[in-house]
Structure 1
Amino acid sequence: MSGAIANLAISLGAMQLARKIPFEDPQVLNYARIGYAATQLILLAVYYYISMIVKKKNDQTVLKYVEPPSALTPQEEGKLVTTTVRDYDLAEVSKLLRSVYMGILMMAFLHGYMKFTQPLFIQSLMGLKGLYDAKPIAIHILGKPAEGELKRPFKAAPGIFGAGGGPQTDKAAISEAEKKVGSKKDD
Protein backbone atom coordinates (compact mmCIF):
# COMPACT_ATOMS: atom_id res chain seq x y z
CA MET A 1 0.00 0.00 0.00
CA SER A 2 1.43 3.39 -0.94
CA GLY A 3 2.15 5.99 1.72
CA ALA A 4 -0.59 8.34 0.53
CA ILE A 5 -3.23 5.62 0.63
CA ALA A 6 -2.03 4.47 4.06
CA ASN A 7 -2.23 8.06 5.35
CA LEU A 8 -5.73 8.40 3.93
CA ALA A 9 -6.82 5.10 5.51
CA ILE A 10 -5.35 6.05 8.90
CA SER A 11 -6.97 9.50 8.73
CA LEU A 12 -10.38 8.08 7.88
CA GLY A 13 -10.10 5.39 10.54
CA ALA A 14 -8.96 7.93 13.13
CA MET A 15 -11.88 10.21 12.23
CA GLN A 16 -14.33 7.39 12.81
CA LEU A 17 -12.67 6.53 16.09
CA ALA A 18 -12.54 10.20 17.14
CA ARG A 19 -16.32 10.46 16.71
CA LYS A 20 -16.74 7.92 19.50
CA ILE A 21 -14.47 9.79 21.94
CA PRO A 22 -16.43 12.09 24.30
CA PHE A 23 -14.43 15.31 23.83
CA GLU A 24 -17.18 17.23 25.66
CA ASP A 25 -15.77 15.79 28.90
CA PRO A 26 -13.05 18.25 30.05
CA GLN A 27 -10.89 15.44 31.39
CA VAL A 28 -10.94 13.57 28.06
CA LEU A 29 -10.18 16.81 26.24
CA ASN A 30 -7.20 17.47 28.49
CA TYR A 31 -5.90 13.94 27.85
CA ALA A 32 -6.21 14.57 24.09
CA ARG A 33 -4.29 17.84 24.48
CA ILE A 34 -1.60 16.15 26.56
CA GLY A 35 -1.36 13.32 24.02
CA TYR A 36 -1.01 15.78 21.14
CA ALA A 37 1.62 17.86 22.96
CA ALA A 38 3.55 14.73 23.95
CA THR A 39 3.51 13.47 20.35
CA GLN A 40 4.83 16.78 19.05
CA LEU A 41 7.56 16.88 21.69
CA ILE A 42 8.57 13.32 20.79
CA LEU A 43 8.75 14.27 17.11
CA LEU A 44 10.88 17.33 17.82
CA ALA A 45 13.18 15.39 20.14
CA VAL A 46 13.69 12.55 17.65
CA TYR A 47 14.41 14.92 14.77
CA TYR A 48 16.85 16.89 16.93
CA TYR A 49 18.54 13.62 17.92
CA ILE A 50 18.85 12.59 14.27
CA SER A 51 20.44 15.93 13.39
CA MET A 52 22.97 15.36 16.18
CA ILE A 53 23.74 11.87 14.81
CA VAL A 54 24.18 13.25 11.28
CA LYS A 55 26.51 15.98 12.51
CA LYS A 56 28.50 13.46 14.54
CA LYS A 57 28.90 11.08 11.57
CA ASN A 58 29.96 14.02 9.36
CA ASP A 59 29.72 11.98 6.14
CA GLN A 60 31.38 14.16 3.50
CA THR A 61 30.62 11.82 0.58
CA VAL A 62 29.72 13.94 -2.45
CA LEU A 63 26.17 13.56 -3.71
CA LYS A 64 25.20 14.86 -7.17
CA TYR A 65 21.73 14.83 -8.64
CA VAL A 66 19.44 16.81 -10.89
CA GLU A 67 16.52 18.28 -9.00
CA PRO A 68 13.30 18.12 -11.02
CA PRO A 69 11.55 21.38 -11.92
CA SER A 70 8.72 22.43 -9.66
CA ALA A 71 5.15 21.60 -10.62
CA LEU A 72 4.47 25.33 -10.99
CA THR A 73 7.16 25.75 -13.66
CA PRO A 74 7.33 22.47 -15.60
CA GLN A 75 8.85 24.17 -18.68
CA GLU A 76 12.05 24.89 -16.75
CA GLU A 77 14.82 22.35 -16.70
CA GLY A 78 16.08 20.54 -13.64
CA LYS A 79 18.77 22.12 -11.50
CA LEU A 80 22.09 20.41 -10.76
CA VAL A 81 22.68 19.97 -7.03
CA THR A 82 26.08 19.06 -5.61
CA THR A 83 26.11 18.47 -1.87
CA THR A 84 27.38 16.06 0.75
CA VAL A 85 25.48 13.25 2.45
CA ARG A 86 25.73 15.19 5.73
CA ASP A 87 24.21 18.36 4.26
CA TYR A 88 21.55 16.40 2.39
CA ASP A 89 20.47 14.53 5.52
CA LEU A 90 20.40 17.75 7.55
CA ALA A 91 18.23 19.36 4.87
CA GLU A 92 15.84 16.39 4.99
CA VAL A 93 15.61 16.58 8.79
CA SER A 94 14.99 20.31 8.44
CA LYS A 95 12.05 19.58 6.11
CA LEU A 96 10.66 17.15 8.69
CA LEU A 97 11.00 19.76 11.43
CA ARG A 98 9.28 22.36 9.27
CA SER A 99 6.35 19.99 8.74
CA VAL A 100 6.03 19.54 12.51
CA TYR A 101 6.05 23.32 13.04
CA MET A 102 3.42 23.82 10.34
CA GLY A 103 1.27 21.12 11.92
CA ILE A 104 1.53 22.83 15.30
CA LEU A 105 0.52 26.16 13.75
CA MET A 106 -2.46 24.56 12.00
CA MET A 107 -3.50 22.86 15.22
CA ALA A 108 -3.20 26.13 17.11
CA PHE A 109 -5.65 27.63 14.61
CA LEU A 110 -8.00 24.63 14.43
CA HIS A 111 -8.13 23.91 18.14
CA GLY A 112 -7.24 27.25 19.70
CA TYR A 113 -9.32 29.50 17.47
CA MET A 114 -11.89 27.28 15.78
CA LYS A 115 -12.37 25.04 18.86
CA PHE A 116 -12.18 21.77 16.88
CA THR A 117 -11.17 18.89 19.12
CA GLN A 118 -11.04 15.83 16.87
CA PRO A 119 -7.91 16.98 14.97
CA LEU A 120 -5.92 16.71 18.23
CA PHE A 121 -6.43 12.96 18.22
CA ILE A 122 -6.02 12.52 14.47
CA GLN A 123 -2.83 14.59 14.25
CA SER A 124 -1.33 12.68 17.16
CA LEU A 125 -1.72 9.45 15.21
CA MET A 126 -0.54 11.01 11.94
CA GLY A 127 2.54 12.42 13.68
CA LEU A 128 3.51 8.95 14.86
CA LYS A 129 2.87 7.58 11.35
CA GLY A 130 5.15 10.30 9.95
CA LEU A 131 7.83 9.28 12.41
CA TYR A 132 7.54 5.69 11.20
CA ASP A 133 7.77 6.77 7.54
CA ALA A 134 10.72 9.19 7.90
CA LYS A 135 13.68 7.94 5.88
CA PRO A 136 16.36 9.60 8.06
CA ILE A 137 14.99 7.65 11.03
CA ALA A 138 15.24 4.38 9.11
CA ILE A 139 18.86 5.12 8.20
CA HIS A 140 20.24 6.74 11.34
CA ILE A 141 18.22 5.21 14.17
CA LEU A 142 17.05 1.85 12.83
CA GLY A 143 20.39 1.28 11.08
CA LYS A 144 18.96 0.27 7.72
CA PRO A 145 21.40 0.55 4.80
CA ALA A 146 20.93 3.53 2.46
CA GLU A 147 19.93 1.48 -0.58
CA GLY A 148 16.74 0.88 -2.51
CA GLU A 149 13.99 3.14 -1.13
CA LEU A 150 16.50 4.69 1.28
CA LYS A 151 19.11 5.56 -1.37
CA ARG A 152 20.00 9.22 -1.40
CA PRO A 153 18.64 11.41 -2.88
CA PHE A 154 15.28 10.18 -1.67
CA LYS A 155 12.58 9.69 -4.26
CA ALA A 156 9.35 11.58 -3.74
CA ALA A 157 6.62 9.35 -2.36
CA PRO A 158 4.02 8.51 -5.00
CA GLY A 159 0.70 10.24 -4.62
CA ILE A 160 -2.70 8.60 -4.37
CA PHE A 161 -2.80 8.08 -8.14
CA GLY A 162 0.75 6.75 -8.34
CA ALA A 163 2.29 9.95 -9.67
CA GLY A 164 5.58 10.60 -8.03
CA GLY A 165 9.02 11.49 -9.11
CA GLY A 166 12.25 12.47 -7.73
CA PRO A 167 15.72 13.63 -8.47
CA GLN A 168 17.54 12.18 -11.43
CA THR A 169 20.75 10.43 -10.45
CA ASP A 170 21.79 8.84 -13.74
CA LYS A 171 25.12 9.92 -15.23
CA ALA A 172 23.54 11.20 -18.45
CA ALA A 173 21.22 13.63 -16.64
CA ILE A 174 24.03 14.84 -14.36
CA SER A 175 26.50 15.39 -17.24
CA GLU A 176 23.79 17.20 -19.26
CA ALA A 177 23.07 19.51 -16.32
CA GLU A 178 26.81 20.11 -15.80
CA LYS A 179 27.16 21.09 -19.48
CA LYS A 180 24.31 23.57 -19.13
CA VAL A 181 25.85 25.05 -15.99
CA GLY A 182 29.21 25.29 -17.79
CA SER A 183 27.66 26.99 -20.84
CA LYS A 184 25.88 29.53 -18.62
CA LYS A 185 29.21 30.44 -16.99
CA ASP A 186 30.77 31.02 -20.43
CA ASP A 187 28.04 33.52 -21.40
Structure 2
Amino acid sequence: MLEKDIQEVLFTEEQLARRVGELAHQITQDYQGREIVLISVLRGSFVFMADLCRRIDLPCTVDFMAVSSYGTGTSSSGQVQITKDLSGNIEGKDILVVEDILDSGNTLSYLLRVLEQRGPASVRLCTLLDKPDRRVKPVEVHYSGFTIPDAFVVGYGLDYAEHYRNLPYIGILKPEVYGG
Protein backbone atom coordinates (compact mmCIF):
# COMPACT_ATOMS: atom_id res chain seq x y z
CA MET A 1 0.00 0.00 0.00
CA LEU A 2 2.74 2.51 0.94
CA GLU A 3 4.90 1.38 -1.98
CA LYS A 4 2.64 3.19 -4.46
CA ASP A 5 3.92 6.51 -3.06
CA ILE A 6 7.59 5.64 -3.64
CA GLN A 7 9.21 7.04 -6.76
CA GLU A 8 12.45 5.07 -6.43
CA VAL A 9 14.17 2.80 -3.90
CA LEU A 10 17.53 4.35 -2.98
CA PHE A 11 18.78 1.65 -0.59
CA THR A 12 17.40 -1.84 -0.17
CA GLU A 13 17.03 -3.66 3.10
CA GLU A 14 20.15 -5.67 2.24
CA GLN A 15 22.22 -2.57 1.40
CA LEU A 16 21.16 -0.95 4.68
CA ALA A 17 22.06 -4.05 6.71
CA ARG A 18 25.48 -4.29 5.05
CA ARG A 19 26.32 -0.61 5.59
CA VAL A 20 25.10 -0.62 9.20
CA GLY A 21 27.40 -3.59 9.83
CA GLU A 22 30.34 -1.71 8.31
CA LEU A 23 29.64 1.36 10.46
CA ALA A 24 29.33 -0.78 13.60
CA HIS A 25 32.64 -2.48 12.83
CA GLN A 26 34.40 0.89 12.43
CA ILE A 27 32.85 2.25 15.64
CA THR A 28 33.89 -0.91 17.50
CA GLN A 29 37.46 -0.45 16.27
CA ASP A 30 37.60 3.27 17.07
CA TYR A 31 36.23 2.92 20.61
CA GLN A 32 38.10 -0.28 21.54
CA GLY A 33 38.49 -0.56 25.31
CA ARG A 34 35.93 2.17 26.04
CA GLU A 35 32.25 2.28 26.84
CA ILE A 36 30.07 4.57 24.75
CA VAL A 37 26.69 6.19 25.15
CA LEU A 38 24.63 6.09 21.99
CA ILE A 39 22.16 8.96 21.80
CA SER A 40 19.36 8.48 19.32
CA VAL A 41 17.80 11.61 17.91
CA LEU A 42 14.11 10.73 17.82
CA ARG A 43 12.08 9.83 16.06
CA GLY A 44 13.68 9.14 12.71
CA SER A 45 16.81 7.38 13.96
CA PHE A 46 15.20 4.73 16.16
CA VAL A 47 15.35 1.96 13.53
CA PHE A 48 18.95 2.78 12.55
CA MET A 49 20.00 3.03 16.21
CA ALA A 50 18.44 -0.34 17.08
CA ASP A 51 20.25 -2.07 14.22
CA LEU A 52 23.53 -0.24 14.85
CA CYS A 53 23.73 -0.90 18.59
CA ARG A 54 23.09 -4.61 18.08
CA ARG A 55 26.12 -4.75 15.78
CA ILE A 56 28.55 -2.77 17.98
CA ASP A 57 30.79 -5.15 19.93
CA LEU A 58 31.47 -2.90 22.93
CA PRO A 59 29.83 -2.06 26.22
CA CYS A 60 27.32 0.67 25.44
CA THR A 61 24.27 2.33 26.88
CA VAL A 62 21.56 4.17 25.02
CA ASP A 63 19.61 7.34 25.61
CA PHE A 64 17.20 9.40 23.56
CA MET A 65 16.58 13.02 22.67
CA ALA A 66 13.96 14.65 20.53
CA VAL A 67 15.09 17.80 18.79
CA SER A 68 13.17 19.49 16.03
CA SER A 69 13.55 22.25 13.49
CA TYR A 70 10.92 20.96 11.07
CA GLY A 71 7.53 21.26 12.72
CA THR A 72 5.11 19.66 10.27
CA GLY A 73 6.82 20.83 7.07
CA THR A 74 9.33 19.26 4.70
CA SER A 75 12.14 21.77 5.19
CA SER A 76 13.89 23.12 8.27
CA SER A 77 12.35 26.18 9.92
CA GLY A 78 15.72 27.12 11.41
CA GLN A 79 14.12 27.30 14.88
CA VAL A 80 15.53 24.44 16.96
CA GLN A 81 14.03 23.15 20.17
CA ILE A 82 14.63 20.18 22.46
CA THR A 83 11.32 18.39 22.94
CA LYS A 84 12.73 15.46 24.97
CA ASP A 85 16.00 15.65 26.87
CA LEU A 86 18.38 12.90 27.97
CA SER A 87 17.53 10.71 30.94
CA GLY A 88 21.09 10.54 32.28
CA ASN A 89 24.19 12.61 32.93
CA ILE A 90 26.81 12.47 30.15
CA GLU A 91 29.66 14.22 31.95
CA GLY A 92 32.97 12.44 31.31
CA LYS A 93 31.42 9.92 28.92
CA ASP A 94 32.12 9.12 25.26
CA ILE A 95 29.02 10.12 23.32
CA LEU A 96 28.00 8.94 19.86
CA VAL A 97 25.00 10.85 18.50
CA VAL A 98 23.05 8.61 16.12
CA GLU A 99 20.98 10.47 13.55
CA ASP A 100 18.90 9.36 10.59
CA ILE A 101 19.72 12.22 8.21
CA LEU A 102 21.98 15.26 8.18
CA ASP A 103 20.25 17.87 6.04
CA SER A 104 20.55 21.63 6.70
CA GLY A 105 22.73 21.13 9.78
CA ASN A 106 20.56 23.48 11.89
CA THR A 107 19.32 20.82 14.27
CA LEU A 108 22.56 18.89 14.63
CA SER A 109 24.83 21.91 15.04
CA TYR A 110 22.58 23.09 17.86
CA LEU A 111 22.33 19.64 19.47
CA LEU A 112 26.08 18.98 19.33
CA ARG A 113 26.79 22.37 20.91
CA VAL A 114 24.31 21.64 23.74
CA LEU A 115 25.86 18.22 24.37
CA GLU A 116 29.43 19.60 24.38
CA GLN A 117 28.41 22.05 27.13
CA ARG A 118 27.49 19.11 29.37
CA GLY A 119 31.13 18.04 29.75
CA PRO A 120 31.39 14.67 27.97
CA ALA A 121 34.82 13.12 27.29
CA SER A 122 33.99 13.17 23.56
CA VAL A 123 31.09 13.75 21.18
CA ARG A 124 30.98 12.22 17.73
CA LEU A 125 28.25 12.00 15.11
CA CYS A 126 27.04 8.97 13.18
CA THR A 127 24.43 9.71 10.53
CA LEU A 128 22.85 7.14 8.25
CA LEU A 129 22.21 9.66 5.46
CA ASP A 130 24.10 12.82 4.56
CA LYS A 131 22.51 15.36 2.23
CA PRO A 132 25.35 17.90 1.74
CA ASP A 133 23.56 19.91 -0.98
CA ARG A 134 21.16 21.27 1.66
CA ARG A 135 23.77 22.18 4.31
CA VAL A 136 23.56 25.71 5.69
CA LYS A 137 25.50 25.09 8.94
CA PRO A 138 28.76 23.13 9.08
CA VAL A 139 28.62 19.86 11.02
CA GLU A 140 31.49 17.42 11.44
CA VAL A 141 30.43 13.88 10.57
CA HIS A 142 32.54 11.05 11.98
CA TYR A 143 30.54 8.14 10.56
CA SER A 144 28.27 8.39 7.53
CA GLY A 145 26.26 5.62 5.95
CA PHE A 146 25.38 7.11 2.57
CA THR A 147 25.55 10.46 0.79
CA ILE A 148 22.25 11.17 -0.94
CA PRO A 149 20.90 13.68 -3.45
CA ASP A 150 18.54 16.49 -2.51
CA ALA A 151 15.37 14.39 -2.55
CA PHE A 152 12.65 13.76 0.02
CA VAL A 153 13.37 10.29 1.44
CA VAL A 154 11.31 8.01 3.65
CA GLY A 155 11.53 4.53 5.14
CA TYR A 156 13.76 2.77 7.69
CA GLY A 157 12.57 5.23 10.36
CA LEU A 158 12.30 8.34 8.18
CA ASP A 159 8.82 9.72 7.70
CA TYR A 160 6.53 12.13 6.00
CA ALA A 161 3.66 13.24 8.28
CA GLU A 162 4.48 10.29 10.59
CA HIS A 163 3.96 7.73 7.80
CA TYR A 164 6.39 5.46 5.91
CA ARG A 165 8.73 4.86 8.91
CA ASN A 166 7.95 1.14 8.73
CA LEU A 167 9.24 0.62 5.18
CA PRO A 168 12.27 -1.73 5.35
CA TYR A 169 14.14 0.27 2.69
CA ILE A 170 14.84 3.95 1.98
CA GLY A 171 13.03 5.43 -0.98
CA ILE A 172 12.33 8.76 -2.61
CA LEU A 173 8.78 9.91 -1.97
CA LYS A 174 6.82 10.99 -5.05
CA PRO A 175 6.58 14.81 -5.05
CA GLU A 176 2.81 14.73 -5.56
CA VAL A 177 2.47 13.00 -2.17
CA TYR A 178 3.97 15.91 -0.22
CA GLY A 179 3.20 18.76 -2.62
CA GLY A 180 6.82 19.15 -3.77
TM-score by length of 1: 0.28
Which of structures 1 and 2 has the bigger CA Rg?
1
Ranked by relative contact order (alpha carbons within 8 Å, sequence separation 6 or more), the top structure is 1
TM-score by length of 2: 0.29
